[in-house]
């Protein structure tokens, strides 16, 4: 196959500039003044004065970005969401533009419910009541449940937004070769295709997304090592740089790989890792998200790999976009 190199938008001799100027663009607890259309990964938390567990809640209302280079370099974990806290008495029309709003209070038990009042059509507005007699373990569990519920709503919103949005040649190929539908914006273009294989990409001003869908032999016993081996084989054969002999593979597999079976999804596995360009003097890499669809009805599995190259940018937006595209195949 005649493959297009991964980094033709960014010549390899420029990567040192990105690395030297590496800055983590991540802010927390500061109102940005953004509207619903500008930052769907911002959550406004409006706390009632009777909420005595606010500080403990802040410690556990966290959804880590994994795996990302920033955490590997600094040792710090970064939240998928940007959080802004205000008191209930300060909540005015000025704050109605948030995509996600949580009203926090204390009560006799835990509850998560949707408020009837919304200020925008696709807005998520939730009431979260904390049991006043809670212990920290319960608070951590329920806070995690709350933030994941908001994330799932955001994924569904994006999946629905781009339903039937992919270019015709992409959607038809995926339907014909994989018997799947994909929610994808029309900004993605085909790099290459073959029987049971498609390679597509999207170019941003300072970043690149690359997606590969490929059929592979069905693995009756999914394991971390087998999935890594298959991803590395696909990556090595298809993701190159301008340096001869350079190729992409999963970076430091012992430290940066997370794999799990998805809840309520039989034989579907998710893998998160860091990819790296090997045999290239210029640093190039980033997060990787993959799904293995291991259907018992067919002799082959389908593997979806999403490569992200976004030097110096907060990866939250890129990671949520990758997850929405991947999960659109089977949600």
User: Would you state the pLDDT for residue 325?
Assistant: 98
Q: Is 83's pLDDT higher than 50?
A: yes
Higher-confidence position of 51 and 8: 51
Q: Is there a cis peptide before residue 173, judged by omega within 30 degrees of 0?
A: no
Percent pLDDT > 90 in the chain is: 71
Q: Is 54's pLDDT higher than 90?
A: yes
- Answer for the pair 97, 123: CB distance below 8 angstroms, yes or no: no
- The span from the CA of 49 to the CA of 45, in Å, is 13
What dotted CATH number matches 39-161? 3.30.379
Q: What is the mean predicted confidence (pLDDT) over 267-278?
A: 94
Q: Is 290's pLDDT higher than 90?
A: yes
Every domain of the chain and the residues it spans: 12-17+165-327, 39-161
DSSP characters for 10-73? S-GGGHHHHHHT-------S------TTT-TTEEEEEE-TT-TTHHHHHHH---B--S-HHHHH
Res. 136 pLDDT band, cuts 50 70 90: very high
User: Would you state the pLDDT for residue 214?
Assistant: 96
- Answer for the pair 305, 273: CB distance below 8 angstroms, yes or no: no
User: Would you state the pLDDT for residue 2?
Assistant: 27
User: Would you state the pLDDT for residue 13?
Assistant: 43
Q: Is 250's pLDDT higher than 80?
A: yes
Average pLDDT over the chain reads 87
Show Cβ contacts of residue 45 under 8 Å, excluding neighbours closer than 6 positions. 61, 83, 84, 85, 86, 102, 104
Show Cβ contacts of residue 305 under 8 Å, excluding neighbours closer than 6 positions. 211, 212, 213, 214, 231, 234, 235, 288, 289, 290
Q: What is the mean predicted confidence (pLDDT) over 57-68?
A: 96
Q: Is 36's pLDDT higher than 70?
A: no
Q: What is the mean predicted confidence (pLDDT) over 227-232?
A: 94
User: Would you state the pLDDT for residue 327?
Assistant: 96
Global pTM value: 0.87
User: Would you state the pLDDT for residue 3?
Assistant: 35
- The span from the CA of 208 to the CA of 310, in Å, is 7
User: Would you state the pLDDT for residue 282?
Assistant: 84
- Residue of 306, 275, 309 lying closest to 290 (CA atoms): 306
User: Would you state the pLDDT for residue 294?
Assistant: 83
Res. 256 pLDDT band, cuts 50 70 90: confident
- Residue of 259, 327, 288 lying closest to 68 (CA atoms): 288
Q: Give per-residue pLDDT as tens, 171-229.
A: 999 999 999 999 999 999 999 999 999 999 999 999 999 999 999 887 767 788 889 99
Q: Give per-residue pLDDT as tens, 106-125.
A: 999 999 999 989 998 889 99
Res. 18 pLDDT band, cuts 50 70 90: very low
Q: What is the mean predicted confidence (pLDDT) over 70-99?
A: 93
Level-2 CATH architecture, domain 12-17+165-327 = 3-Layer(aba) Sandwich (3.40)
User: Would you state the pLDDT for residue 35?
Assistant: 47
Show Cβ contacts of residue 328 under 8 Å, excluding neighbours closer than 6 positions. 159, 162, 163, 181, 182, 183, 184
Identify the weakest region by mean pLDDT among 150-159, 226-235, 291-300: 291-300
């Amino acid at each position: 196959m005649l493959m297009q190199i991964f980094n033709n938008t960014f010549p390899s001799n420029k990567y040192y500039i990105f690395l030297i100027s590496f800055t983590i663009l991540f802010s927390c607890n500061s109102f940005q003044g953004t509207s619903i259309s500008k930052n769907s990964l911002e959550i406004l938390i409006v706390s009632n004065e009777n909420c005595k567990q606010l500080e403990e809640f802040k410690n556990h209302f966290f959804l880590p970005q994994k795996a990302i280079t920033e955490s590997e370099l600094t040792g710090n974990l970064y939240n998928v969401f940007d959080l802004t806290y205000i008191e209930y008495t300060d909540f005015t029309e000025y704050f109605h533009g948030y995509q996600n709003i949580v009203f926090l209070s204390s009560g006799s038990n835990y509850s998560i419910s949707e408020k009837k009042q919304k200020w925008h059509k696709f807005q998520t507005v939730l009431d979260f009541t904390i049991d006043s007699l809670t212990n920290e373990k319960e608070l951590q569990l329920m806070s995690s449940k709350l933030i994941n519920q908001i994330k799932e709503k955001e994924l569904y919103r994006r999946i629905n937004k781009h339903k039937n949005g992919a270019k015709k040649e992409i959607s038809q190929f995926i339907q014909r070769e994989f018997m799947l539908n994909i929610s994808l914006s029309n900004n993605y273009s085909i790099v290459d295709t073959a029987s049971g294989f498609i390679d597509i990409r999207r170019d941003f001003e300072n970043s690149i997304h690359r997606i590969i869908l490929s059929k592979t032999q069905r693995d009756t016993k999914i394991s971390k090592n087998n999935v890594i081996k298959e991803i590395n084989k696909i990556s090595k054969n298809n993701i190159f740089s301008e340096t001869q002999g350079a190729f992409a593979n999963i970076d430091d597999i012992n430290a940066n790989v997370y794999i799990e079976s998805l809840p309520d999804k039989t034989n579907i596995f998710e893998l998160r890792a860091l990819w790296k360009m090997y045999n290239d003097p210029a640093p190039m890499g980033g997060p990787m998200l993959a799904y293995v669809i291991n259907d018992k009805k067919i002799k082959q599995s389908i593997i979806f790999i999403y490569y992200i190259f976004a030097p110096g940018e907060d990866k939250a937006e890129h990671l949520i976009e990758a997850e929405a595209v991947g999960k659109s195949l089977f949600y």
